[in-house]
Amino acid sequence: MKLRIQYLTVFIITLLGTTFSFAQDDVEVYVADFTDDALRLTMERHVSTFLSQVNESFTAKSDTLTDVSFFLTAYISEFEVLWSSTPFFIPESTIIESVNKLATGRYEMRNIPIYFVDPDGEKHYEEAVIQFTPSGLISEFRIGLAAHRFQEIMNAGEDAIDQANREIILNFVENFRTSYNRKDIEYINTVFSDQALIIVGRVIENTGVESSYQQQVEYLQLTKGEYVDRLRRLFERNEWINVGYEDIGIIRHPKHPAIYGVSLTQYYNSATYSDEGYLFLLIDFAEPEKPLIHVRTWQPKRETPEDEVFQIGDMEIF
């Protein structure tokens, strides 16, 4: 009987051993459906090392990664800012994803599962996007849209050209969102046009005027400079900021094909403040590599009736 238990134990240990053969921090990434074997192996090696290092540094509560040779040199500092403000870890030990080739010649891998952990210990599930240079170096890491949201928006594309434009827009929206996590005021400064129209809704406490909404909203118009100054102060005051987007709608302007209206619901969380609001961005993709925001409006979600949410039809473009 003893012997039988010994056999069984050895066998079960052998079986389990195959399941738990990887260290907990290690992440193995496989690139599916990619014909260039040399580049595939390079990307697999780089992204596996990167994500394993992320887990290792997260566990060690380290401010830096020990090896950054898999990064494009110009991107290292940008990632370090993100890492220091919002550290995260990867909950999967094996990831199998395909990569898309972008119009720029770079490659992109989506749906990398990550968890952000707030200073209070609360975990947020997100999915990241990793971009590679044509030689396989990691050139960007950003917080992506949830896979089903991304697929839903892409499937709504009318044709392959519209789909390509939508991909650019979603890429931009994801970068814009990640810039808040990085508290990257320079990026935000770059993407707003100097003459941008920025409208921020503000809830006014009981005005005495009868309304279906108990509180009413007052709109402030800000210049780009005023808006960027407000953000800078906000970034300084908050140890961390996490922004999430839902209900993303993309509408192409009927007369100006390079101009898109992007409407979304924004969930804003920071160390000191949280809110939910309708965000509308009028983005000019005349130069796809350098999109410019001409209009940004924000309206508090709870206090704004749906028919009063800004949309592309409210904007007259000359």
Partner 1 sequence: MKVFNRGVKSGLLLLTIIMVSAASLSAQVDERTIKLSGNYLWGEGFGEDRQTAVNNAKRDLIERLQVRIESEANFTERDTNDDYSVELETTTNTLSRMELRGLNYMPAKERRDGSWETIAYITKDDFNTTMDLESDRLLSALKIAIIDENDGRLDVAITQYMELWASTFYSPVPFYTNADDHGIESELRSFLSNKIRNWVNSLAIDVDRVRSLSTAQNSEFYFDLLFSYNEMATSNLEIALNKSGYVAHPIRNGRTSIFYDLAPEERIRSFNFTLSPVIPNSIDQEKAAILDGVLPIREITLDIDFSDVIDINFNIIEESENTFTFVPILKNLSVYSLEWDFGDGETSKETTPTHDFGADFTGSLISLIINSSGDLLEQKQIGEVEKIDNTDNIDELGFVIPPNITSYVENTIRLKDGNSLTKYLNNLSERNILMVGRQSDINNPTLSYLAIINPQDTLVIAILSPVESGMRYNLITNETISNSELRMKFRGLGSVWFQFK
Residues within the interface to partner 1 (CB under 8 A): 1, 3-4, 7-8, 11, 15, 30, 32-33, 91, 94, 96, 98, 113, 125, 127, 146-148, 150-152, 155, 158-161
Give me Rg for the CA atoms of the chain: 23
By beta-carbon proximity to partner 1, the closer residue of 31 and 295 is 31
Least distance to partner 1 from the beta carbon of 136, Å?
A: 18
By beta-carbon proximity to partner 1, the closer residue of 61 and 148 is 148
Cβ–Cβ under 8 Å, residues 240 and 286: no
By beta-carbon proximity to partner 1, the closer residue of 181 and 297 is 181
Least distance to partner 1 from the beta carbon of 48, Å?
A: 14
> CA 288 → CA 50, 169, 191, 258, 284, distances in Å?
29, 9, 12, 9, 8
* Residue 279 burial by Cβ neighbours in a 10 Å radius (0-12, 13-18, 19+): buried
End-to-end CA distance of the chain: 88
Least distance to partner 1 from the beta carbon of 2, Å?
A: 9
> CA 292 → CA 100, 193, 247, 280, distances in Å?
25, 6, 22, 14
DSSP type of residue 266: E
Q: Which of 308, 310, 307, 299 is nearest to 266 (CA)?
A: 299
Least distance to partner 1 from the beta carbon of 182, Å?
A: 22
By beta-carbon proximity to partner 1, the closer residue of 86 and 299 is 86
By beta-carbon proximity to partner 1, the closer residue of 94 and 190 is 94
Both structure tokens of 147: 């896979």
Q: Which of 148, 147, 77, 70 is nearest to 114 (CA)?
A: 147
Least distance to partner 1 from the beta carbon of 313, Å?
A: 26
Least distance to partner 1 from the beta carbon of 160, Å?
A: 3
Both structure tokens of 31: 């690139």
Query: What are the contacts of 95-98 at 24+ separation with CB within 8 A?
Result: 95/27, 95/28, 95/29, 95/30, 95/51, 96/29, 96/30, 96/32, 97/29, 97/30, 97/31, 97/32, 98/31, 98/32, 98/33, 98/34
By beta-carbon proximity to partner 1, the closer residue of 249 and 300 is 249
By beta-carbon proximity to partner 1, the closer residue of 143 and 196 is 143
- Chain-centroid distance of CA 25 in Å reads 23
Least distance to partner 1 from the beta carbon of 12, Å?
A: 9
Least distance to partner 1 from the beta carbon of 3, Å?
A: 5
- Cα–Cα distance, 255 to 265 (Å, whole number): 26
By beta-carbon proximity to partner 1, the closer residue of 110 and 183 is 110
